[in-house]
């Protein structure tokens, strides 16, 4: 695929990519932006090459996921290496000053995001890919680099835990949280 | 994937999050251009740790070469002081001032480099001086070893040493022979 053509495709997927990067970076906007930039850099340098084995979206999401994991690992190492002074400075900044703060201020969303953050990474990823990105479970499995069976298990468990958490916090979202099960969802 | 009940609510929460992310997402052009700028920026050809490691390696190699160069004449001198065993079995220590006899087929290499001639001559003279000193020391040591006597050698001496070490002659008288025999008590 030509780079100009690829650029046009990436532009279409940009907002979805950013959302996925946000999920991979535990909703840290700056980190998500950095990850996305690194991904574009990889594509430009040819380190990440699309061969058409999967759809562009799943391939791009897989690259974003791997890059985010790598960046997270680097951050952990950096934190271990240096003193916690920088981290303390970072924590001094109020979360309300961040760009997404206004959105996070919504009580329902805040509780929902807390519930999502409490989930294990794989479960959170599976739910995000299915509900946020409208991907099928097989596509989600490709992005996560696991089998479809495992993806289904993560999806089911994540959904169950999310339901439990939201039930505990008694979020009044619409009517009847504890609705009927959807056995044929997948 | 058909969604029912609580899944619709989860999807609604995710959709809300997606809308908020789309509003706060950075522009594609900005992120892309920054990534592109990174690719065009001349990357630093080396980092500090690489330079330090290389410098350390070079230092190690130089010191090794220096050590090899300066330890070689000593080893040659040691070889030269080792006494050579002749065909007869006697030891011969190389004498000072005696030039080593070259093999019949040996031809000295033409001295084309006149610039380094004086330096090489100095080196040869220095080496010969060392060789002479080593040979003299070896000769002294050899003499000292030849004239060495055990400090307890005198304890082994007895008055009849001369008789015991000499062979009795046939024409010697019996009286003389009897004098060797111990006198029997009568």
pLDDT tens per residue across span B4-61: 677 888 888 899 889 988 888 899 999 999 988 888 665 565 678 888 999 999 999 9
Chain A residues whose CB is inside 8 A of the B22 CB are 15, 19
Q: State whether A112 and B17 contact (CB < 8 Å).
A: yes
Q: State whether A41 and B39 contact (CB < 8 Å).
A: yes
The model's pLDDT over B141-184, given as tens digits with 9 standing for 90+, comes to 999 999 888 888 888 888 888 777 777 777 777 666 666 666 66
The answer to whether B33 contacts chain A (CB < 8 Å) is: no
Q: What values do phi and psi take at B86, rounded to 5?
A: -80, 175
* pTM of the full structure: 0.53
Check: CB of residue A141 under 8 Å from CB of residue A148.
yes
Angle between helices A14-24 and B6-24 (to 10 degrees): 110
Task: Give the pLDDT score at A63.
Answer: 93
Band of residue B72 on the pLDDT scale cut at 50, 70, 90 = low
Q: What values do phi and psi take at A119, rounded to 5?
A: -80, 150
Residue spans of chain A under pLDDT 70: 1, 83-105, 169-186
| Residues in a beta bridge with B91 | B85
* Residues of chain B numbered 117-176 and touching chain A (CB < 8 Å): none
% of chain B residues with pLDDT over 90: 24
Q: State whether A112 and B22 contact (CB < 8 Å).
A: no
Q: State whether A185 and B25 contact (CB < 8 Å).
A: no
* Residues of chain A numbered 132-161 and touching chain B (CB < 8 Å): 132, 136-137, 159
Q: Is the pLDDT of residue B101 over 90?
A: no
> Quick check: helix, strand or coil at residue B84?
strand
* Residue entry with tokens 């992120």: B31
Check: CB of residue A39 under 8 Å from CB of residue A63.
yes
Query: Which of A18, A113, A177 is the closest to B6 by Cβ?
Result: A177
Task: Give the pLDDT score at B166.
Answer: 78
Band of residue B73 on the pLDDT scale cut at 50, 70, 90 = low
Mean pLDDT of the B118-140 span: 92
Nearest Cα residue in chain A from B16: A109
Contacting residues for B39 by C-beta, under 8 A, at least 6 apart: A41, A44, A45
The residue of A131, A166, A167 whose CB has the most chain B CBs within 10 angstroms, and thus the best one to mutate to test that interface, is: A131
Q: How far is CA B92 from the centre of its chain?
A: 27
% of chain A residues with pLDDT over 70: 77
Max Cα-Cα span within chain B: 144
Q: How far is CA B94 from the centre of its chain?
A: 25
Check: CB of residue A113 under 8 Å from CB of residue B17.
yes
What is the pLDDT of chain B when averaged over all its residues? 75
Nearest Cα residue in chain A from B2: A185
- Please state, in angstroms and rounded to a whole number, the distance separating the CA atoms of residues B3 and B1: 6
Task: Give the pLDDT score at B62.
Answer: 94
């Amino acid at each position: 695929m030509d780079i100009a053509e690829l650029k046009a495709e990436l532009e279409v997927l940009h907002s979805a990519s950013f959302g996925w990067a946000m999920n991979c970076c535990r909703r840290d906007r700056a980190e998500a932006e950095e990850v996305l930039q690194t991904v574009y850099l990889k594509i430009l340098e040819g380190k990440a090459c699309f061969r058409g084995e999967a759809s562009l979206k799943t391939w791009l999401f897989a690259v974003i996921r791997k890059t985010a994991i790598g960046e997270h690992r680097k951050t952990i190492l950096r934190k271990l290496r240096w003193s916690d002074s920088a981290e303390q400075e970072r924590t001094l900044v109020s979360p309300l000053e961040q760009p997404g703060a206004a959105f996070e201020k919504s009580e329902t969303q805040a509780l929902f995001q807390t519930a999502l953050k409490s989930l294990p990474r794989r479960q959170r990823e599976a739910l995000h890919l299915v509900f946020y990105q409208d991907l099928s479970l097989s596509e989600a499995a490709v992005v996560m680099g696991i089998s479809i069976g495992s993806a289904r298990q993560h999806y089911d468990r994540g959904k169950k835990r999310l339901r439990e958490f939201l039930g505990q916090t008694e979020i009044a979202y619409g009517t009847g949280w504890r609705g009927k099960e959807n056995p044929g969802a997948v | 994937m058909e969604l029912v009940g609580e899944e619709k609510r989860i999807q609604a929460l995710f959709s809300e999050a997606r809308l908020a992310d789309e509003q706060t997402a950075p522009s594609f052009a900005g992120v892309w251009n920054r990534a592109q700028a990174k690719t065009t920026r001349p990357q630093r050809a080396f980092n500090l740790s690489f330079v330090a490691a290389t410098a350390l390696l070079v230092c190690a190699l130089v010191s090794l070469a220096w050590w090899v160069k300066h330890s070689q004449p000593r080893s040659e001198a040691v070889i030269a002081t080792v006494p050579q065993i002749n065909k007869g079995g006697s030891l011969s220590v190389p004498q000072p001032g005696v030039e080593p006899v070259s093999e019949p087929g040996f031809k000295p290499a033409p001295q084309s480099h006149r610039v380094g001639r004086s330096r090489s001559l100095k080196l040869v003279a220095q080496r010969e001086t060392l060789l002479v000193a080593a040979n003299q020391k070896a000769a002294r040591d050899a003499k000292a070893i030849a004239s060495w006597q055990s400090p307890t050698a005198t304890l082994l001496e007895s008055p009849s040493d001369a008789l015991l070490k000499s062979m009795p002659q046939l024409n010697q008288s019996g009286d003389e022979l009897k004098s060797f025999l111990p006198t029997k008590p009568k």
